[in-house]
Amino acid sequence: MDEYITIALPKGKLFKKSVELLAQVGYSADNVVEDSRKLVITNEAAKVRFIITKTVDLPTYIEYGAADIGIIGKDVLLEEGKDVYELLDLGFGKCRLMLAVPEAKQRPKLTDYAHLRVATKYPNCAKQYFDKLGVQMEIIKLNGSIELGPLIGLSELIVDIVETGTTLRENKLKEIDSVYTATARLIANRVSFKLKFARLNKLVQDLQKILEEEAK
């Protein structure tokens, strides 16, 4: 199967745009849908295979070579810290990781929140952020609705991904600092990128051309 390119696609908000973008450069297959029951979807003519994974697992598939390339948010890349090549900023799926607190509990300075509890899906990124501030916090890892933390007294603050900020406002939470902005990235397994360089490099160049055209 060495001549095949195996592509990992993330379930969720990045899926549809990822499939559309790859199809524009000739990387497609029948029935590449998010709820597909097939674990591996193959296009024999194009020598390409697709696997559809949970977002948090996708960098692991790439790092260990189960897939050659994949598309994933920069937020997941930073949190997981996997050893992969980041080939291209695809520009879509823009969001930001931010620090928020209940509106009624705002304090004058960021350092005034020291030694409080913060709920997040991104404990590694949160720790790095607070370490840079020189602030010690108790970080609580959650997988569900992070906004619930301050509402029920589990935490005083949250570190979470936002796109529009609507959910924050609905729950009377105030963004007090931005940790980073994230977009979708094309990533590759390090060995695959060397062994299949010609084909993967052409894919990157073709995607760059499309992104440049869309930006005009």
Q: Any idea which architecture 5-93+183-215 has in CATH?
A: 3-Layer(aba) Sandwich (3.40)
Question: What pLDDT, on the 0 to 100 scale, is given for residue 181?
Answer: 96
Structure tokens at 138: 């108790």
The token duo for 215 is 């930006």
- The domain spans of the chain are 5-93+183-215, 95-182
The encoded tokens of residue 150 equal 């301050």
Angle of the 197-215 helix axis to the 15-24 helix axis, nearest 10: 110
Provide the CATH number for the domain formed by 95-182 in this structure: 3.40.190.10
pLDDT of residue 2: 60
CB 47 within 8 A of CB 5: yes
Q: Residues for the chain: how many in total?
A: 216
5-93+183-215 matches 95-182 in fold? yes
**What pLDDT shows up at residue 41?**
92
Q: Which two tokens stand for residue 148?
A: 């619930």
Q: For the segment 101-113, what is each residue's pLDDT rounded down to a tens digit? A: 999 999 999 999 9
The CA distance from 6 to 69, in Å, is: 7
C-beta separation of 162 from 95 below 8 A: yes
Block means of pLDDT (10 residues each) for the chain, length 216 residues? 87 95 94 86 94 95 97 96 97 96 95 96 97 96 93 96 89 95 98 96 96 88
DSSP 3-state assignment of 87?
Answer: strand
Tell me the one-letter amino acid at 202.
Answer: K
Residue 146: predicted pLDDT: 94
| Helix or strand (DSSP H, E) at 204 | helix 197-215
Distance CA 33, CA 52 (A): 9
SS3 156: coil
